[in-house]
Amino acid sequence: MQLGAYSFGDTPRDADGTLGSTSDAIRNLFDAIVHADQHGLDYFGVGEHHTLDMPASSPGAMIAAAAGATKNIILGSGVSVISTDDPIRVFQQFATADAVSGGRVEITAGRGSSVESFPLFGYDLADYDRLYEEKLELLRAANDAGSDARVTWSGTVRAPIDGLEVVPRPVRGRLPIWVGTGGSAPSSMRAGRLGMPVSYGIIGGAPARFAPLVDLYRRTAASAGHAGDEIRVSVAALGLIAPTKQEALDRFYPGWHAMNMSMVEKRGWPAPQTEHFLAQAHGAGAYYVGDPDDVAERIADLHGHLGHMRHFLQMDFGGLPQEHLLESIELLATEVKPRVERLLAAK
C-alpha cells in the first residue's frame, strides 16, 4: 500500500484571518513535497484550483520544480483539469518533469471538481463531458506515440494533429495516466473500458460505499480484456495526523470550518456543523484525522472494502499552520505506513 499526500496549495492566513500571500502558499507546498520525500512518503499529488485560498493552478510547473529537488517520491497531478487545458501541452510538461525526475511522474486526468477553469480559459460548462472525453483521447494518443513520437488525432474541441512529433518522450516510454473521479459510474466504466487506473476522490460520507463502483470498474476492465498492473485503484481523502487523536481534531477543525464557510459563500454549501465533522472524523467516516494507530486502522479497514493500492490525504486547507502539515506528513510516512503494512500483512 502506497501512502501519500495531495494539495491544492493553502494560502496562509494573517493574524486577523485574512488571506496572506499566494506566493507563500506555493513555497510552502514545494517545501512540503521535499519534506515528504525526505521522510519516505510514497506519493505527492498537486491538484489544480484557481482561487486565492487554493492557488496551485499549475500542477505541471509545481511538479517540474519538485522533480529536481526530490529523489524517490512519485509525483503526480491530483487532478489535471484536462477539459480546459491543451492535452499536448500537459503531456509535454509532465514528460519534461518525468525526465528531470528520472521517471517518477504520473498524470491524473480529471474533469475538475473546481469549475473556475472553464470561464478562466474560455470554455463552456455545457461542453463538460465532450471536452473531457475528446481531450482524454488526445492525451492518451500523445502518451501512446511510438518511437517516432508522431501523433495523429482529430476531434471537435481542438484543431486536428496529423503526424506531428510530440516531445520529449517519458523515461519509461509512457507516463502512467489515471482517470480521476469523484465517484461516478460512467467514469468508473470509462476507466475500466480504456484499461486505465482510477483514482477516487472521497471527501465525505462513508468511503466503503465506493465498493460497488470499484467492482464495476474491475468488471468493466475484465470484460474489455484488461488486466495486470494497469487496473489499479487509489483513494484521495481528507485527513491529518498528529501525536494524539485530540490534537489532530483540534488542528484540523479550524481549517475545515474555514474552507466550508468559504464554500457557503461561493457554492451555496450548507453551513458546517461540528457534529458532522466529528462523525466524519471517526470510525467509517471519510476524514482520516487522528493519531497514527487510528488512521492506520481506518486505512487498512477501507482496503478490505476497496482493495486500493494507494491512499493519499489532503491535509492543508483553511490556513493550516505549515508546521502542523509537515509533522503530519512525517507521521504518515514514518508511523502510519509501517502500521498499515503490518495490519495488511496480518489479514
pLDDT computed for residue 269 by the predictor: 84
pLDDT tier for residue 17 given thresholds of 50, 70 and 90: confident
* Separation of alpha carbons 245 and 260, rounded Å: 22
Strands (E), 8-100: 43-46, 74-77, 80-81
The residues near 145 (Cβ < 8 Å, ≥ 6 apart) are: 151, 166, 169
pLDDT at 215 over 80: yes
Q: Which residue do the cell numbers 490556513 mark? A: 319
pLDDT computed for residue 10 by the predictor: 97
pLDDT at 111 over 90: no
What are the cell numbers at 179?
482517470
* Separation of alpha carbons 39 and 73, rounded Å: 10
The answer to whether 94 and 171 are in contact (CB under 8 A) is no
pLDDT at 247 over 80: yes
DSSP string, 205-262: S-GGGGHHHHHHHHHHHHHTT--GGGS-EEEEEEEEE-SSHHHHHHHHHHHHHHHHHH
**CA dist 202 to 22, 239, 313, Å?**
26, 11, 10
* Separation of alpha carbons 145 and 151, rounded Å: 6
φ, ψ for residue 163, nearest 5 deg: 65, 30
pLDDT computed for residue 15 by the predictor: 85
pLDDT at 118 over 90: yes
Residue 298: Cβ-neighbour burial (10 angstroms; 0-12, 13-18, 19+): buried
What are the cell numbers at 168?
520529449
The answer to whether 332 and 3 are in contact (CB under 8 A) is yes
What is the total residue count of the chain? Answer: 347
> pLDDT by residue (tens digit) across 306-334?
999 999 999 999 999 999 999 999 999 99
The residues near 326 (Cβ < 8 Å, ≥ 6 apart) are: 31, 32, 35
pLDDT computed for residue 266 by the predictor: 80
Look at 237 and 269; give whichever has higher pLDDT.
Answer: 237
Look at 277 and 263; give whichever has higher pLDDT.
Answer: 277
pLDDT tier for residue 154 given thresholds of 50, 70 and 90: very high
pLDDT computed for residue 71 by the predictor: 98
Question: What is the residue type of 328?
Answer: S
